[in-house]
Structures are given as structure tokens and as C-alpha cells.
Copies of this chain bind each other. A is one copy, B any other.
């Protein structure tokens, strides 16, 4: 039940674009440095984001990437789903209407459905704009002076 590094990195990448992307495109190299993530790995991740039309690229010198929409128009869930696939905690919930084959199936299925809703409730509640706003708050509060975490 872990979010993969790819999913977490994609979110940080998109947040970086939100925070540092303005008129000019942002170079992946900069993002890699700021986020301390390998450039080559980020290339793979952003390639998926581009194919999903979440970002657009400009090639050549002074090139880079921009968001395609407003930060408020990307939910965390959309980004994670694009990179990680369905977030449903069991495969059974991914397609529609898989009827059960054992007495207690309905039982565990009901549980997984509730869990699924709880997860969706969080990841679809927040957008990049929310994360960016939190980021602003964090800076004001003088947070983040210590080190040691891998997130």
C-alpha cells in the first residue's frame, strides 16, 4: 500500500512547475536540481505527463516544460493515476460490476469499496493550487530547516 517514487516524484515535479513556472518554460535540469531527483528519471516521468497532455514541452536551448492548465485544474488524484494507474486498493474495483463468487466476497468487497472512497476522497480533494498555497504557508512559518527525510 505504498505510493511509488514515480508517483511522488511526478507530484513534486508538477508542484515545481506550479511554483517556478511563469511565462518561461522550466528546464528539467533545474527541477532535477531543486528536487534532488535524477534528470534521467525525471525525463521518463515527464514523458508520461506530456503524453497525457498535462504538460507541454519546448525543445532546444531556453526550452523546458509548462503546465497545460491552471494549477487548480489538476487534482492530486489525476496526477497519481496518470503515473501509477488506478489507485483502487484491490483490482476487483477497477472495472465495473464484478459480481462475487463466495459468501464473504460481498463483505470484503464492501470494505475495499469504502477504502477506495476514502482514498479518492483525499486525493481528489486537493489540486496543485492547494499544494502551492500550502507551500506558501510553509515558507512563511519558517518550516523546513532540518534535513533527513527522503520525501
Contact = CB atoms under 8 A, between A and B. Distances in A.
Contact of A108 (B12, B91, B118): B12
Contacts of A103: 19, 135, 138-139, 144
B1 A92 contact: no
**Chain A facing B: main interface SS:** helix
A92 B131 contact: no
Interface residues on A, range: 35 or more
Given A3-B90, A147-B99, A15 B119 contact: no
Contacts of A139: 103
A39 interface: no
Interface of A: 1-3, 8, 11-12, 15-16, 19, 34-36, 76, 84, 87-92, 98-112, 114-115, 118-119, 121-123, 126, 131, 134-135, 138-139, 143-151
